[in-house]
Amino acid sequence: MDQIAGYSTDDYELIIMVGFDDCIVGVVEKGGHPPCVCYDREKVISKLANAMSREEAEEFHYFNQAAGFYGESTPCFLDFHEI
């Protein structure tokens, strides 16, 4: 992937989760931090649930993906809720 949401992977060290490109919703910038790839949490968990139970998918996601730290550009996850 050469670009993610308009960000060139040549210009930024964007960390991606292999196999979850279809779950990317954009790139997040926060003052003082490099940009990071943002994933739709529900899409990620649903994709994991194709290979395991929903409960196992949620546990895997929270312990191995959401709680992991892989450097300053560690991916983030967005929960969509109606306001």
Residues 24-80 have pLDDT tens digits of 999 999 898 899 999 999 999 999 999 999 999 999 999 999 999 999 899 999 999
Nearest to 30 by CA among 71, 60, 72, 66: 72
Structural domain boundaries in the chain: 3-78
Q: Are the C-beta atoms of 76 and 44 separated by less than 8 Å? A: no
Which pLDDT band, with edges at 50, 70 and 90, does 1 fall under? low
In this predicted structure, the answer to whether residue 83 has a pLDDT above a threshold of 80 is: no
More confident residue, 1 or 25: 25
